[in-house]
Amino acid sequence: MENPSKTATFSLQNLLFLLLPCLLFFFSQYLVVPVTADFNFNPYYPTENYAINCGSSTGGESFNGRYWIGDGSGQLRPIEQQNKSSVIKAISEQFIQGPYSTARLSYSQFTYSIPLSPGPKFIRLHFYPTSYPDFDDPSKKAIFSVQAGTFTLLRNFSALFHARGEVTVVKEFCVNVDQGPRFNLTFTPTPEITDSYAFINGIEVVSMPTNLYYKPESDEGVPFLGQAQGRLYTLGNNAALEKMYRINVGGSEILPEDDAEMFRSWLTDDAYLTIAKPSALPVNVIINLTFSSDTASYSAPREVYVTARTMGTNKTQNENYQLTWEFPVDSGFNYFVRLHFCELQIEITKEGDRVF
């Protein structure tokens, strides 16, 4: 993440959120609602929290446990180039819901100017790439860039291509807003393509704690793998990040509505696990989590820490394999990897009981 392009020429640094809670004992079938008391528990509730239903003229509707506000009127209505206004389209397929059921599309640039205070934010862009009436073949023409303040989040972007067969696409970023009171999110059709157009179905902007990913300049930094030993990398406010993967290892999927703090989603690790012979899936929902002084409790929802994947119990086998996950990424970027650990197994009582 060298000098992450304040000049906004390339698309973003990528961020690999990786999650690896540790071990535990096997939990029985009974799921009693546990009474727990977590220590050093400091929840974060976003001070700014926008869920915008683009292309919707109605006031708002509930989806994913939140109220999505239409952008048809009021201060969230985008600013457009004169006489080249965007149009809004509704989608009638029944299985398409919430922000995906309407879109804003335009052959020219449009800008959401969102009231925001300075500080780090999550930006999530929701796309339903399909053929919209009066707009040409999305695979050839729905190609555009998205600029957030001074950062180019997406360039020459095709949501249809990025969907890779999925119905909808969510692109998630972290950016730091330098100054308020408004922050511009600009959609621009690719000028090199005749009749190209931009579209968007939903936008989320959610504030985050200042120290969740970004660190003050005085921070010592994180080790930079593959570089000279001892080289540290500091993740400063001038870097934008793109989420690549956020995984709840050994546990179930966590939906945005289940993360009341920052509406993050966490996938299961099944699709990425490549070597796991044998592995176990311990769970300990009654544990009292104790967060260390340098790990805030909002680093991940509690559910992430109470499940894990571990090696099995056969020492001989464990010495002869490496529990492995594989994550496809693009070359040419730097990746930030975070591993979350929670030592849950009651047999592990002191330092040194488990070393790997």
Residue 98: how many CB atoms within 10 A of its CB? 19
Shortest distance (Å) from residue 112 CB to ligand NAG: 9
Q: Closer to ligand NAG by CB, 154 or 262: give it.
A: 154
State how far the Cα of 203 lies from the Cα of 226, in Å rounded to an integer: 36
Q: How far is the CB of 42 from ligand NAG (least distance, A)?
A: 17
Query: Of 252 and 314, which has the nearer Cβ to ligand NAG?
Result: 314
- For ligand NAG, the closer of residues 130 and 186 by Cβ is 186
Site for ligand NAG contains 117 (CB under 6 A): no
288 binding ligand NAG? (CB under 6 A): yes
Between 23 and 143, whose beta carbon lies closer to ligand NAG? 143
CA–CA separation, 286 vs 200, rounded Å? 42
User: Considering only residues 61-80, where is the footprint of ligand NAG by CB under 6 A?
Assistant: 79
Longest distance between any two alpha carbons in the chain, whole Å: 72
Q: What is the C-alpha to C-alpha distance for residues 212 and 209, in angstroms, rounded to an integer? A: 6
> Quick one: which of 7, 314, 322, 324 contacts ligand NAG (CB under 6 A)?
314
Closest CA to 337 of 248, 213, 238: 213
The interface region with ligand NAG, picked from 46-54, 168-176, 212-220, 286-294 by CB under 6 A, is 286-294
185: number of CA atoms within 13 Å, CB side?
A: 27
For ligand NAG, the binding residues in 137-196 under the rule CB under 6 A are 143, 156, 158, 182, 184, 192
Nearest Cα residue to 296 out of 189, 237, 211:
211
CA nearest neighbour of 239 among 213, 263, 264, 262: 213
The two structure tokens encoding residue 90: 């509704």
> 13 vs 188, which CB is nearer to ligand NAG?
188
Size of the site for ligand NAG (CB under 6 A): 18
How far apart are alpha carbons 174 and 17 in whole angstroms? 12
Mark the segment that binds ligand NAG (CB under 6 A) among 9-17, 49-57, 116-124, 312-320.
312-320
Given the complex with ligand NAG, which of 244 and 311 has the nearer CB atom? Answer: 311
286 touches ligand NAG (CB under 6 A): yes
Please say which residue, 65 or 180, places its beta carbon nearer to ligand NAG: 180
- The set of residues, in sequence order, having a beta carbon less than 8 Å from that of 48 and lying 6+ positions away, is 116, 117, 121, 205, 206, 207
CB atoms within 10 A of CB 145: 20
Instruction: Please give the helix or strand (H or E) that residue 159 lies within, else none.
Output: helix 159-163
Cβ-contact 106, 197 below 8 angstroms:
yes
Site for ligand NAG in 76-105 (CB under 6 A): 79, 83
Which residue do the tokens 């048809």 mark?
72
Nearest residue (CB) to ligand NAG, 225 versus 286? 286
Angle at 122 between CA 117 and CA 125, to 5 degrees: 115
Among the residue ranges 9-17, 90-98, 284-292, 334-342, the one whose residues contact ligand NAG (CB under 6 A): 284-292
Residues of this chain that bind ligand NAG (CB under 6 A): 36-37, 79, 83, 111, 113, 143, 156, 158, 182, 184, 192, 286-288, 314, 316-317
